[in-house]
Amino acid sequence: MTKKTLCLASLPAPVLIAMLLLFPGSRKLTASDRPPSANAEVKIDNFVFGPQTISVPVGATVTWTNHDDIPHTSVSTEGVFKSKVLDTDEKFSYTFTKAGTYSYYCTIHPKMTGQVIVQ
Amino acid sequence: MPDKKQDLIDQKLQDLNNDGVDRRGFLKCMAWAGTGLVWTMSGGIPVSRAFAKSADRHAAKGADFTFVQISDSHIGFSKPANPDVTATLQTAINKINALPQKPDFIIHTGDLSQLSKPSEFDTLDQVLKGASAKQTYFVPGEHDMLSDNGEQFLQRYGKGTKGSGWYSFDQKGVHFVGLVNVANLKAGGMGSLGHEQLEWLEDDLKGRSTSTPIVLFAHIPLWTIYAEWGWGTDDSEQALAYVKRFGSVTVLNGHIHQIMQKIEGKVSFHTAMSTAFPQPAPGTAPSAGPMKVPADKLQQVLGITDVNYVVSGRSLAIVDSPLANAGAANSENGDGPEHG
């Protein structure tokens, strides 16, 4: 194995335990984990969802953030998800567990529409 | 000379009334007049003249009753476009209280609040208590229907109304109808009245004499001003078909935070300024969001709408007044000639 492993092995047990406590996340990094890019961001800017259409894998979490001075919502037209009213800088997240195309809109300004494609 | 300028404006509008088509030119003139415009509906024929201080007094004098429209108070909004919307609403109320004729009532065409919060409605109520007119009629804006489908709004301001808050009432021979076009909005659409409300409207107007002046008021414009920004109502055509037979119809709206007027046959459309913050002219900005203007200019783009009604001519005269007039340097010998 690597030099790093050898170095760790040579460390006293209390130090190793302390390191594990400090960096618990490092233990979870395995090949089966999703890359962080699976999650997606939708920015609400100037009364527009951007990007208007996003494609994400099954299991991805999409987060909407309102950057306008006016409140908006992100609500599925099929009733799948429904954010609360998002004031400036407020966020809403939803995790998509099933493949499909999800249309949504702002119930306050219905001209604002968007789509999440889950593959 | 102010009189000369006034004559020029009168002349120009007279010309427009004669041909009745140059609305683009008319809107320019309206912008130039700055302080507002008087609309007189007389037997269904619109007659307009520019509004000056003397015209204001004249219009109010002899009116059988007057009412004031205010709109888009957005209590709770605190962004740079106007960090103190309660203060500007207060200024609007002061302006109403200073009118030469005490208005019979106030109509608020929606967006009382920014986020439908009880505290925001409380503040609005508190400020309105100071108005000389004790009665205020409300219709909700989309900001008043957040989270709870308008439950809170209906409890406070919609007692005795139908559906999501529509109703009608009569005042000295004029029939007023408050409509709600901000409920159950469909994805991709604009404002919506809905089937149930349209049926009610048809029924409400049935049997009324065609000589009855009608005033429709609702939050989102009942005519399409700019579809891209949702500035219109998808099913307003149907509502307008029901009022077609009447000799004088006035439609008062808010939502777009600026004055827009249009006349179609016997129907006169009018949108009011906000008491909170201005919004850009259609298509002149990336979005319809709040427009930041220099602090000393803010009160020139906020305002109230004073409507005078004269029974004898069955006419309504509409006067828009900003909270503060532009400085003398702007209003005297201004850029008028370029519109000539």
- The reply to whether A97 falls in a domain is yes
Question: If you measure CA to CA, which chain A residue comes closest to B287?
Answer: A46
pLDDT band at A2 (very low <50, low <70, confident <90, very high): very low
| Domain contains A81 | yes
CB B222 within 8 A of CB B236: yes
Total domains in the fold of chain A:
1
B132 falls within a domain:
yes
Task: Report the distance separating Cα A88 and Cα B164, nearest Å.
Answer: 27
Quick one: pLDDT at residue B313?
A: 65
The chain A residues in contact with chain B (CB within 8 A) are 46-48, 68-71, 77, 84-85, 87-88, 103-105, 107-111, 113
CATH number at residue A84: 2.60.40.420
| Contacts of A13-18 spanning 24+ positions with Cβ under 8 A | none
Q: What is the CATH number of the domain that holds B98?
A: 3.60.21.10
What are the mean pLDDT values of chain B's consecutive 10-residue runs (340 residues total)? 43 37 35 31 35 41 81 96 96 92 93 97 98 96 92 96 97 94 96 98 96 96 96 97 95 95 90 95 94 93 88 75 66 29
Helix runs in chain B, H state only: 2-19, 23-33, 53-60, 85-97, 118-128, 151-157, 195-205, 236-243, 328-331
Sort out which chain A residues have CB atoms less than 8 A from B190's CB and list them. 110-111
Structural domain contains residue A73 = yes
User: Has residue B311 been placed in a domain?
Assistant: yes
Long-range contacts from B240-243, C-beta under 8 angstroms, 24+ separation? B240/B267, B242/B198, B242/B201, B242/B202, B242/B205, B243/B205, B243/B214, B243/B216, B243/B267
Nearest Cβ partner of B146 from A47, A108, A113?
A108
Among A47, A69, A85, the residue with its CB nearest the CB of B147 is A85
- Count CB-CB contacts under 10 A for residue B79: 17
Q: Which domain holds residue B274?
A: 64-324
Domain-embedded: residue B205: yes
- C-alpha torsion sign, points B79, B85, B86, B87: positive
For residue A46, is it within any domain?
yes
Query: Residue B295 and residue B276: Cα distance in Å, rounded?
Result: 12
What percent of chain A clears pLDDT 70, i.e. is strictly above it? Answer: 69
Between chains, do B187 and A69 touch, taking CB under 8 Å as contact? no
Q: What is the pTM of this model?
A: 0.79
Query: Would the CB atoms of A70 and B289 count as touching at under 8 Å?
Result: yes
Q: Where are the beta strands (DSSP E) in chain B?
A: 37-42, 45-50, 65-70, 105-108, 136-138, 167-171, 174-178, 214-218, 249-253, 260-264, 267-271, 303-310, 315-322
- In whole angstroms, give the CA distance from residue B107 to residue B70: 6
Instruction: Give the pLDDT score at B149.
Output: 86
Q: Do A85 and B79 touch (CB under 8 A)?
A: no
Q: Which two tokens stand for residue B6?
A: 């006034």
Of B98, B96, B71, nearest in space to B85 by CA: B71
Query: Does residue B93 form part of some domain?
Result: yes
Q: What is the pLDDT of residue B100?
A: 86
Is B53 contained in some domain?
no
Mean per-residue pLDDT, A4-20: 48
| Distance of residue A97 Cα from the nearest chain B Cα, in angstroms | 23
CA dist B175 and B191 (Å) reads 23
Give the residues across from B182 on adjacent strands: B192
Mapped onto helix, strand or coil, the DSSP state of residue B86 is helix
User: What is the span of the domain harbouring residue A94?
Assistant: 36-118
Question: Could A69 and B229 be called an inter-chain contact, meaning their C-beta atoms sit closer than 8 Å?
Answer: no
Query: Å from B194 to nearest chain A CA?
Result: 15
The domain tally of chain B equals: 1
In a domain, B176, yes or no: yes
* Residue B249 phi, psi dihedral angles, 5° rounding: -125, 125
**What ipTM does the predicted assembly reach?**
0.77
- State how far the Cα of A43 lies from the Cα of A35, in Å rounded to an integer: 21
Structure confidence by residue, pLDDT tens digits, A38-88: 899 999 999 999 999 999 999 999 999 999 999 999 999 999 999 999 999
Residue B333's pLDDT is what? 29
Residue B49 is predicted with a pLDDT of 36
Per-residue model confidence as pLDDT tens digits over B301-318: 999 988 888 766 667 888
Give per-residue burial for B214-226: e unless 16+ CB within 10 Å, then b: bbbbbbbbbbebb
Is residue B333 in some structural domain?
no
Q: Residue A78 domain-assigned?
A: yes
Query: Do the Cβ atoms of A110 and B187 come within 8 Å?
Result: yes
Query: What is the pLDDT, as a whole number, of residue B74?
Result: 98
